[in-house]
Amino acid sequence: MRLLPLVVSVVSALSLAYYVYIPLPDAIQEPWKLMLLDASFRATFHLAVLKQWLGLDHYIKSIRQSTEFLSSESSGGVIPGVKIRDITFDGVAVRLYEPPAGGEGHLRRGLLYLHGGGWALGSSKRGTYDQINRMVSDELNTVVVAVEYRLYPEVHFPVPYLDCLAAAKHFLSPEVLSKYAIDPERVAVAGDSAGGNLAAAVAQEISTDDGVSVKFSVQALIYPVLQALDFNTPSYLQNQQMPVLSRNLMVQFWLQYLNADLSLQPQLLANNHSALHRSTITPELRSRVDWSVLLQQKYKKDHQPVVVEKGAHGIVKDVPALLDVRAAPLLASSEVLAKSPRSYVLTCEYDVLRDDGLMYARRLRDAGVTVTSEHYEDGFHGCFSFVAWPIEFEVGKRAVRGYLDWLQKNL
């Protein structure tokens, strides 16, 4: 009988190793750390789905509860020179970071930050979002406004976008800028992943709204998600199983955000929703997401466009937001893009969203906008947020420092 515990231990160890191990590219600098992180996320996701199947709670809410231990929520007050308050801007919850006041006549920078999380997860009050915003406020003498926009499943598009737009317009009002001693010529909007999507969409709307007198000076987009017409770009195929954002999960986030039936996932994965017979998707519109033209050869490699002649009927009609530039900023016209502020676009080689960011940077440049493209050859999706205990990666620390340095020089 003594052999039984040993057998059980060996089988358990092998099973755990099988669950944790996934093949990763050689360029990933800390592979086992990333494997363990991905395994913990997968376990959390699977458990949350099981709880939903049992009728206990929505899986997103379970994930939120399960991941709270990874980050702590800071309280208000003065913390190392930066005053932090939770208030509202035009009815939208925000966290405000104020650096120490300068002398009379010394104006400060301003930055509106929109966090990522698939329009369903995350909070600017927790973990590294809070830490990075404190760093920006302290190091760059910046008033940072982090928007706590509402999330799925409580709301769907366009509510998160409208929350961010309302907060942006309030922030950019001359009265508010004056109240916080912010230079109206030095105000930025930034965001990562789904937050990068919202930042790009808000920047487009502000830049074209004649009713807004103060515009954003710069936009900083961290591996933004920008289109939902082509889920077969080279980066979507190359990185479809990469941590921490798989191709399947990104499509699921899109369907949730747009309040669409999740059963449509196979159709979107096959690009059936953007088939050639769709009269609403004109050749000119398709050219705005044509990676075969917009990407450099080193990113295209040997991939070929996946273009379907006749796909499933009615998807675009049933989910019109697929073509809404407020949801998919890459679909904006060149005339709109030409009015965009000076831009910073961070992309990672091992990220399904790599090509979204690269295409947007190319289209902005073609429209005459000054763009800084920061590409991390060893980067993966989410690394920007993994810069502090208990989850930290060297590539994430470099990405955050690059973001801070760019803002220092350009804002």
pLDDT digits (tens, 9 = 90+) for 133-179: 999 999 999 999 999 999 999 999 999 999 999 999 999 999 999 99
Is 263 contained in some domain?
Answer: yes
101 and 167, same structural domain? yes
Q: For the residues 114-120, what does the mean pLDDT come to? A: 97
188 and 76, same structural domain? yes
300 and 376, same structural domain? no
Q: What are phi and psi of 178, to 5 degrees?
A: -65, -40
Is 15 contained in some domain?
Answer: no
Number of domains the chain contains:
2
Q: For the residues 110-128, what does the mean pLDDT come to? A: 94
Last residue of a domain, one of 284, 300, 323: 323
208 and 101, same structural domain? yes
277 and 219, same structural domain? no
User: Which residue out of 38, 230, 351, 356 is catalytically annotated?
Assistant: 351
Mean pLDDT, the chain, whole residue set: 91
Say which CATH number the domain at 356 has: 3.40.50.1820
Is 238 contained in some domain?
Answer: yes
Active site residue 193: yes
239 and 218, same structural domain? no
Q: What is the pLDDT of residue 70?
A: 54
What is the extent of the structural domain holding 251? Answer: 234-323
The dihedral of CA 44, 49, 54, 57: what is its sign?
positive
204 and 347, same structural domain? yes
Active site residue 115: no
User: Which residue out of 62, 193, 246, 343 is catalytically annotated?
Assistant: 193
Is 166 contained in some domain?
Answer: yes
pLDDT at 112 over 50: yes
Residue with tokens 């917009």: 294
189 and 75, same structural domain? yes
Is 96 contained in some domain?
Answer: yes
Is 400 contained in some domain?
Answer: yes
Is 21 contained in some domain?
Answer: no
Token digits of residue 395: 């590539």
CA–CA gap between residue 19 and residue 17 (Å, rounded): 5
Of 101-115, 190-204, 270-284, where does mean pLDDT reach its minimum?
Answer: 101-115
250 and 142, same structural domain? no
Last residue of a domain, one of 289, 323, 357: 323
Who contacts 26 (Cβ-Cβ below 8 Å, separation ≥6)? none
335 and 359, same structural domain? yes
pLDDT in tens, 242-293: 999 999 999 999 999 999 999 999 999 999 999 888 778 999 999 999 999 9
345 and 284, same structural domain? no
Is 17 contained in some domain?
Answer: no
pLDDT in tens, 347-362: 999 999 999 999 999 9
Q: What are phi and psi of 70, to 5 degrees?
A: -75, -15
267 and 377, same structural domain? no
CA–CA gap between residue 143 and residue 182 (Å, rounded): 7
Q: What is the pLDDT of residue 233?
A: 98
User: Which residue out of 170, 343, 381, 385 is catalytically annotated?
Assistant: 381
CA–CA gap between residue 117 and residue 151 (Å, rounded): 9
Last residue of a domain, one of 298, 323, 348: 323
**3-state secondary structure string, the chain?**
CCHHHHHHHHHHHHHHHHHHCCCCCCCCCCHHHHHHHHHHHHHHHHHHHHHHHCCCCCHHHHHHHHCHHHCCECCCEEECCEEEEEEEECCEEEEEEECCCCCCCCCEEEEEEECCCCCCCCCCCEHHHHHHHHHHHHHCCEEEEEECCCCCCCCCCCHHHHHHHHHHHHHHCHHHHHHCCEEEEEEEEEEECHHHHHHHHHHHHHHHCCCCCCCCCEEEEECCCCCCCCCCCHHHHHCCCCCCCCHHHHHHHHHHHCCCCHHHHHHHHCCHHHCCCCCCCCHHHHHCCCHHHHCCHHHHCCCCCCCCCCCCCCHHHHCHHHHCCCCCHHHCCHHHHCCCCEEEEEEEEECCCHHHHHHHHHHHHHCCCCEEEEEEEEEECCHHHCEECCEECHHHHHHHHHHHHHHHHHC
CA distances from 170 to 129, 219, 266 (A): 22, 17, 40
Q: What is the pLDDT of residue 327?
A: 98
CA distances from 95 to 64, 82, 143, 216, 365 (A): 19, 12, 10, 19, 33
Active site residue 75: no
